């Protein structure tokens, strides 16, 4: 099973980019973030024409997540539990059917800037709710993948210039500690299980020729339960997408699990 996560930075702006990518690469599952559109307005037909089942948790102009799957999607849920007042569309979860099902948890974690401040407080509170869901996923003892834009730079090696991010919500010690608390519950960072060192990034700013200088950061992650980690073949970053036409500021992160 080939699973790809892609923060597309707006489906209206990048519909052709995304459908062209799906035609070329044909992931079994695609998890999208920042679709920036309501459920009703999401352009389902182009994806269904490519053979995908579509589940969306959208929001007008902001946020929004979706799962596209060539296999049936079951047990679909939207929104991260723990705060009934939270209206931001940042979590979608579904079981991808088949002989060896996988629970896909697509997430778009809050950015948190400016920090400190209310947005940073919301980020940390959201991560506490995520930790509670992660604990429950482990209790289920099934193959599960929490994948998407985490908006966290876990380690200095995950930024070309970590010194430039010290006061940023993505790299502040509170964010990194919250990420570690989730990881250390018993999850595997799929990319770091296969690749080490600097130079592996999933995001480059549009400004200051960041991509040309490889001034990037790794903030898109896939955390696997032990049952999913046992099936991990490979994890890689499709960095070349950043140089294509009308690119997002993120590129796809891929995880391949044994069927």
Instruction: Give the per-residue pLDDT at 59.
Output: 97
Average model confidence (pLDDT) for the chain?
Answer: 97
Q: Which of 67, 2, 3, 4 is nearest to 35 (CA)?
A: 67
CATH code for the domain of 243: 3.60.10.10
Q: pLDDT, tens digit, for every residue of 105-118?
A: 999 999 999 999 99
Instruction: Give the per-residue pLDDT at 142.
Output: 97
Helix (H) or strand (E) holding 57: strand 53-57
Q: Can you say which residues are annotated as belonging to the binding site for Mg(2+)?
A: 7, 34, 149, 151, 249-250
Instruction: Give the per-residue pLDDT at 235.
Output: 98
Answer positive or negative: Cα dihedral of 224, 103, 120, 57. Answer: positive
The structural domain count of the chain equals: 1
Reported as half-sphere exposure (CB side, CA atoms, 13 A), residue 231 has a value of: 20
- Averaged over 60-87, what is the pLDDT? 97
Evaluate if residue 129 carries a pLDDT over 90.
Answer: yes
Instruction: Give the per-residue pLDDT at 31.
Output: 99
Instruction: Give the per-residue pLDDT at 179.
Output: 99
Q: How confident is the model at residue 160 (pLDDT cuts 50, 70, 90)?
A: very high
Confirm if 7 and 248 have CB atoms less than 8 A apart. Answer: yes
Confirm if 55 and 76 have CB atoms less than 8 A apart. Answer: yes
Q: Can you say which residues are annotated as belonging to the binding site?
A: 7, 34, 149, 151, 249-250
Evaluate if residue 251 carries a pLDDT over 90.
Answer: yes
Q: How confident is the model at residue 194 (pLDDT cuts 50, 70, 90)?
A: very high
Confirm if 70 and 51 have CB atoms less than 8 A apart. Answer: yes
Distance between CA atoms of residues 153 and 138, nearest Å: 24
Evaluate if residue 98 carries a pLDDT over 90.
Answer: no
Catalytic residue positions, numbered: 108, 149, 250
Evaluate if residue 85 carries a pLDDT over 90.
Answer: yes
Evaluate if residue 99 carries a pLDDT over 90.
Answer: no
Distance between CA atoms of residues 202 and 225, nearest Å: 22
| Secondary structure of residue 134 in the 3-state scheme | helix
Instruction: Give the per-residue pLDDT at 3.
Output: 98
- Averaged over 27-36, what is the pLDDT? 98
Q: Does this model's pTM top 0.95?
A: yes
- Averaged over 1-19, what is the pLDDT? 98
Evaluate if residue 83 carries a pLDDT over 90.
Answer: yes
Q: How confident is the model at residue 97 (pLDDT cuts 50, 70, 90)?
A: confident
Rg value, the chain, Cα: 17
- Averaged over 90-98, what is the pLDDT? 95
Evaluate if residue 208 carries a pLDDT over 90.
Answer: no
- Full domain range(s) for residue 65: 2-257
């Amino acid at each position: 099973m080939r699973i790809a996560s892609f923060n597309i930075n707006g489906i209206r702006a990048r519909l052709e980019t995304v459908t062209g990518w799906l035609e070329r690469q044909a992931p079994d599952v695609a998890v999208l973030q920042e679709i920036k559109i309501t459920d009703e307005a999401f352009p389902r037909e182009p994806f269904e024409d490519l053979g995908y089942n579509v589940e969306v948790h959208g929001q007008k102009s902001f946020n929004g997540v979706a799962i596209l799957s060539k296999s049936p999607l079951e047990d679909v849920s939207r929104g991260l539990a723990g705060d009934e007042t939270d209206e931001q569309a940042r979590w979608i979860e579904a079981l991808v059917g088949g002989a060896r099902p996988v629970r896909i948890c697509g997430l778009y974690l809050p950015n948190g800037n400016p920090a400190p401040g209310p947005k940073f407080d919301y980020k940390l509170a959201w991560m506490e709710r995520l930790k509670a869901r992660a604990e429950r996923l482990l209790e289920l003892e099934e193959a599960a993948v929490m994948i998407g834009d985490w908006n966290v730079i876990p380690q200095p090696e995950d930024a070309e210039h970590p010194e430039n991010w010290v006061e940023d919500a993505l790299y502040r010690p509170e964010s990194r500690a919250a990420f570690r608390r989730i990881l250390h519950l018993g999850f595997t960072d799929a990319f770091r299980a296969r690749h080490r060192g600097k130079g592996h990034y999933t995001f480059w700013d549009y400004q200051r020729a960041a991509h040309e200088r490889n001034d990037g950061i790794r903030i898109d992650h896939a955390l696997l339960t032990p049952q999913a980690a046992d099936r991990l073949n490979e994890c890689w970053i499709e960095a070349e997408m950043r140089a294509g036409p009308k690119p997002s500021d993120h590129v796809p992160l891929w995880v391949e699990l044994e069927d």
